[in-house]
Structure 1
Amino acid sequence: MAETVIRLFNGGLTTQPPLSLYIHLPWCVKKCPYCDFNSHAAQTLPEAAYIDALLLDLERALPDIWGRKIHTVFFGGGTPSLFSADGIDRILTGVRALTQLMPGAETTLEANPGTVEADKFAGFREAGVTRVSLGIQSFNPRHLQALGRIHDDSEARRAAELAATHFDTFNLDLMFALPGQTLAEALADIDTALSFEPPHLSAYHLTLEPNTPFGHAAPPNLPDDDLAADMQMAIESRLNEAGMQHYETSAYARPHHASRHNLNYWQFGDYLGIGAGAHSKLSFHDRIIRQMRTKYPQQYLNAIKAGTHIADARTLTRDDLPFEFMMNALRLNEGVPAALFEARTGLPLIVCAAALEHARGRGLLETDASRLKPTLQGQRFLNDLLALFLAA
């Protein structure tokens, strides 16, 4: 798809931000009723053909990232752990051959408890994966069934044990405000997760997304807003007591175990996304572009061969950039240095002066001019804070 280049900046970007690589593996065993990700249930995987397509996608993207080092790699899905360890090894071997992958780069792979065993985790580690993110969601069998998960509570515990055995750092993904969930049950999930001593834990509020069975066809009975807020605060308190820092809206980590890949997103870094439906954000001297690959797997495989796999490409305008930057940076509880705005967008921070003044006046943003940091109120009402920058 042809891209229209719009000159954005007065001076342009003087340095490019760190670059990450996102690799989308779109298949799963079963589509969960709450999921709105680009994932597709499949009985068999065209693993070899898809890896061929991924490596060709990466090769064709090289002119956009020429000379740049890749700091982190993330395999997302779908359920990447459905792929064989040999397949993951082949992808990472190709990445090393085609790009400047930094030594010691954080390489994360998402996994679901129903799709892993000891040999597979050992194989992923040998291939170069340094971190796994396990989609536990809950350790309660009733809630797992309500969420349509393919694993049970014993498989969830076993997967967490394997992650702790094979990886120095790993993440456990949990959800709260589940159908029929009580505050005690939400905290019981947290306590069970903590028993595996995870270096990182994500706790997401279940939301009903449009175009999902939960969102329109069969909405479940969820805890009300007050109970959900009580759960969120109780979870934060329990995890803080356990020595985990609440560093991002839904993320908690022990020292030195924050997700480096996700931090790059939140600090408005760059990322190249390859695979069906993958998104990219890439910075050049005079522009920042966003891209999206063809969404459906078979269409992506066909489009790669024809060189038509970029389904959408657009250049961010001056009006886009304040909100785009703040939407990421203000998810971080400690915020970012104020100087990062100009470094990442090429625009002077003064373009946000009115929004910043309004946010500070409403008690949503700290008054320290050297830092863009949400207050506790700003963290609790993040959408209200971000809305101020839509008209910046």
Structure 2
Amino acid sequence: MFYFTPAMIPEHQNHVVTTIETIPPETITASPTLLQRIKKVFNRELLLTLALGQVLSLLICGIGLTSKYLADDFHANTPVFQSFLNYILLFLVYTTTLAVRQGEENLLAILKRRWWKYMILGLIDIEANYLVIKAYQYTTLTSVQLLDCFVIPVVLLLSWFFLLVRYKAVHFVGVGVCLLGIGCMVGADVLVGRQQGLGDHKLLGDLLVLAGATLYGISNVCEEFIVKNLSRVEFLGMMGLFGSFFSGIQLAIMEHKELLKVAWDWQIGFLYIGFSACMFGLYSFMPVVIKRTSATAVNLSLLTADLYSLFCGLFLFQYKFSGLYLLSFFIIVLGLVLYASSSTYVAQDPRVYKQFRNAGGPATETPTVGPMEPSVTYTSLGQEVEEEPRIRVA
């Protein structure tokens, strides 16, 4: 056996040994208990975020109920006209607000720099609404509920590549739990026999839903970028301008005959007003929630909208009840909590912020990251934490 003698030990090793200090016991912090961790997750910000998402779901529920009454009870199949009313309201409120502004935030100044980008975004938003509503004529409600979830992976991928958002394992687990909740809801539909919307061209309807969900994902990611780096009023004003213009053209070409068939009375007028109010509220409020959270978190919150519609249908349309509906609701909420319990961060790449707006154009809000700034961690609750710069590898 070989033994070391003190003379054989290098001097730097002796130095390492002599510099070790004992940590005083009072400086050691105990690890947080389970209760403390739960309180840290279920804080005021999380509860407020969940509540805001459910407000959006309730607005979508109102949109669905008014559309169902118009189509089933009054045979008013006018999806383009219904969207046109919403875009007109956006034009009257937000586009006119931009028109009366002064300086670089004026409507003409914005159009001069970015008109064609907003034109494309307006067309995407119009056709997303149209394709999903049109799909109900060809496929089942169950298929629409399942395939409409395709918007979530679309938003995740687009956020990763274009907004440079980086996710953790818990975010993907939360998304998976939410989709599991949708699976429970669809299973409940099958058990109680809710197969409304059967048509002769089911494959066509399924493809329409997938196309509409893809366009929704593109629109939501663009909306997130604009409201976080430019202005909420600018986004809504441009949607009102180009949305009313192109949906008006589409209405005149495709739906003017259907509109003439509508038997107008106070009930139909009330339903159109209710639909427009819910749609306008959704468009006006969604940018607020997206700026606070993200497009992904908002789309996960909207998964509960179908459940609210089902609960209303128990009283209004005599739907059959299943305990799986309640189970699916709690599973979706659990997935939302998991997703919101951890933070995401934005990988630094200043080129992203030059893709949409002019490099020389002024910003109405300070960009969240810049070429010389550290990257910012965004929690799902909108909190910001500075970290070391992260450079995206091209």
| Structure with more strand by fraction | 1
Query: RCO (CA 8 Å, sep 6+): is it higher in 1 or 2?
Result: 2
TM over 0.5: no
**Which entry has the higher C-alpha Rg, 1 or 2?**
2
Q: TM-score, normalised by structure 1?
A: 0.23
